[in-house]
């Protein structure tokens, strides 16, 4: 109630520098006090996670499918299944976790996650009637007749006959069978940690099989760079000298946990190259959605994404902000990406798009962007931009509501800010209920700002 009144007052105040400065400062103080009270209330509290319950009601079907309603195909992406599984684990919601896991396995992994990495895109798609009618047998018969008439040489192929404008029916299913490594990594990670936190080795076994498949199909040794987690099993090697990489897929927490869990030195190599990509591919300290590795000239901004830093790369700042204070790469990575603060507008709002070559910005990011930046500015000990992100989040809570991705960013960033979970030094997940819901609850300590 106080927050709502303050926002209205800020919007309706006379347009004078003093009035807005005073009301803005007052609002920041109110938000800081409210955040402190909220986090204090969380300590020792083991009730359900309200934001997670709201997300489930808005975006998850009864059988465990995460639906993005902003697309006409009512799509499900493997990334959404992965994040939802992690949130279910953070919320100690095993029933939802199992439904999400089962739907993912049955519909994206051909019924077996231990053998097949999930298809990244599933939804409603058109099936031309003509494609169903032209069977392999019909094509074979046509080829045989042509060969008998000496119209085709032996061994030649024949294409199906062209059809008139087909009648289109729609069906639910896989639209693109290629995998997405960020989803695969987070699903495997959620399974490993579910096995540990819920004391169920069945989850662990599936996670270990997935890690082996990720290593076999999505980790590639690039000339001059080393072993890299590629975005997918195929489609991102443009030539033998050009490779597309997505920095936001390189969350260090799960990768470090894979190293500790498996003891496989390949994951140390992946960690080392990931750190190099996060720094060297962002020479101005601004993360890009996509970058190119060229074996002859090194990193370059990606032309296909117009050198943009936006809806993908916002996660880079999120993952970095949530690194444990003792993580060996944390201080350097946070310092390298510090220039982001200079691109906030006069109200502290993050841009929607950044040209990572020039630093030019366009648009204002949604409230989910600000949520993703809460851990980042908290880790850097920057109080003013931290409070400004909370204001921006609060003022855009309604407009962000129907947007699946914005709500994902809010669950990650605001959930972390509330103390719902932390990552350990070696990448392990520590939800609030692990320590706080036992007989001797231990509150989370806030990580120290990077020096």
pLDDT digits (tens, 9 = 90+) for 103-144: 999 999 999 999 999 999 999 999 855 555 445 454 455 445
Which tokens belong to 186? 């987070």
| CB 215 within 8 Å of CB 238 | no
How big is the chain, counted in residues? 451
| CB 409 within 8 Å of CB 372 | yes
The sign of the torsion formed by the CA atoms of 301, 303, 306, 309 equals negative
Q: Which residues are catalytic?
A: 79, 182
Predicted confidence band of residue 420 (pLDDT cuts 50, 70, 90): very high
Q: Mean pLDDT across the stretch 265-288?
A: 98
CA atoms of 333 and 281, how far apart (whole Å): 12
The sign of the torsion formed by the CA atoms of 316, 242, 264, 210 equals positive
CA atoms of 30 and 113, how far apart (whole Å): 47
pTM: 0.84
Q: What is the pLDDT of residue 165?
A: 58
User: What are the structural domains, with CATH classification, of the chain?
Assistant: 24-120+180-436 (1.50.10.10), 123-177 (no CATH)
Q: Among residues 349, 348, 347, which one has the least CA distance to residue 363?
A: 349
Q: What is the pLDDT of residues 159-204, one digit of tens each?
A: 555 555 556 789 999 999 999 999 999 999 999 999 999 999 999 9
Q: 133: number of CA atoms within 13 Å, CB side? A: 11
Q: What is the pLDDT of residue 128?
A: 58
Q: Among residues 415, 401, 435, 183, which one has the least CA distance to residue 318?
A: 415
The sign of the torsion formed by the CA atoms of 315, 317, 318, 324 equals positive
Q: What is the pLDDT of residues 221-252, one digit of tens each?
A: 999 999 999 999 999 999 999 999 999 999 99
**266-to-202, 213, 221, 229, 272 alpha-carbon distances in Å:** 24, 13, 10, 11, 10
Predicted confidence band of residue 402 (pLDDT cuts 50, 70, 90): confident
**Of 147-151, 225-229, 414-418, where does mean pLDDT reach its minimum?**
147-151
């Amino acid at each position: 109630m106080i927050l709502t009144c303050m926002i209205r007052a800020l919007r309706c105040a006379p347009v004078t520098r003093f009035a807005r400065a005073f009301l803005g400062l007052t609002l920041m103080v109110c938000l800081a006090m409210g955040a402190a009270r909220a986090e204090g209330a969380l300590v020792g509290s083991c009730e359900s996670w309200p934001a997670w319950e709201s997300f489930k009601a808005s975006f998850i079907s009864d059988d465990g499918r995460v639906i993005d309603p902003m697309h006409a195909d009512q799509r499900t992406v493997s990334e959404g299944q992965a994040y939802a599984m992690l949130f279910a684990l953070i919320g100690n919601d095993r029933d939802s976790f199992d439904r999400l896991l089962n739907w993912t396995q049955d519909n994206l992994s051909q019924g077996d996650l231990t053998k097949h990495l999930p298809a990244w895109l599933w939804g409603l798609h058109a099936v031309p009637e003509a494609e169903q009618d032209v069977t392999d047998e019909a094509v074979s018969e046509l080829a045989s007749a042509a060969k008998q008439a000496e119209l085709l040489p032996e061994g030649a192929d024949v294409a199906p006959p062209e059809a008139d404008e087909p009648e289109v029916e729609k069906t639910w299913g896989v639209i693109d069978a290629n995998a997405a490594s960020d989803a695969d990594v987070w699903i495997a990670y959620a399974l490993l940690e579910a096995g540990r936190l819920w004391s169920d080795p069945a989850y662990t076994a599936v996670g270990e099989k997935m890690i082996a498949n990720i290593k076999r199909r999505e980790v590639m040794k690039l000339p001059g760079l080393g072993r890299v987690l590629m975005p997918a099993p195929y489609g991102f090697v443009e030539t033998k000298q050009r490779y597309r990489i997505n920095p936001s897929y390189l969350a260090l927490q799960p990768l470090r946990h894979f190293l500790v869990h498996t003891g496989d030195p390949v994951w140390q190599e992946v960690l080392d190259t990931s750190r190099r990509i996060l720094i060297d591919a962002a020479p101005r300290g601004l993360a890009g959605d996509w970058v190119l590795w060229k074996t002859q000239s090194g990193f370059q901004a990606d032309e296909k994404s117009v050198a943009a830093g936006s809806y993908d790369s916002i996660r880079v700042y999120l993952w970095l902000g949530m690194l444990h204070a003792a993580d060996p790469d944390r201080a350097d990575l946070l310092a390298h990406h510090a220039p982001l603060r200079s691109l906030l507008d006069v109200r502290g709002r993050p841009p929607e798009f950044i040209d990572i070559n020039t630093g030019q910005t366009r648009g204002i990011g949604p409230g989910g962007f600000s949520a993703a930046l809460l851990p980042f500015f908290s880790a850097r000990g920057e109080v003013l931009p931290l409070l400004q992100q909370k204001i921006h989040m609060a003022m855009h809570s309604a407009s962000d509501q129907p947007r699946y991705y914005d709500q994902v960013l809010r669950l990650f960033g605001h959930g972390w800010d509330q103390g719902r979970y932390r990552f350990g030094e070696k990448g392990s997940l520590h939800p609030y209920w692990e320590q706080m819901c036992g007989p001797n609850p231990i509150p989370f300590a806030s990580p120290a700002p990077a020096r």
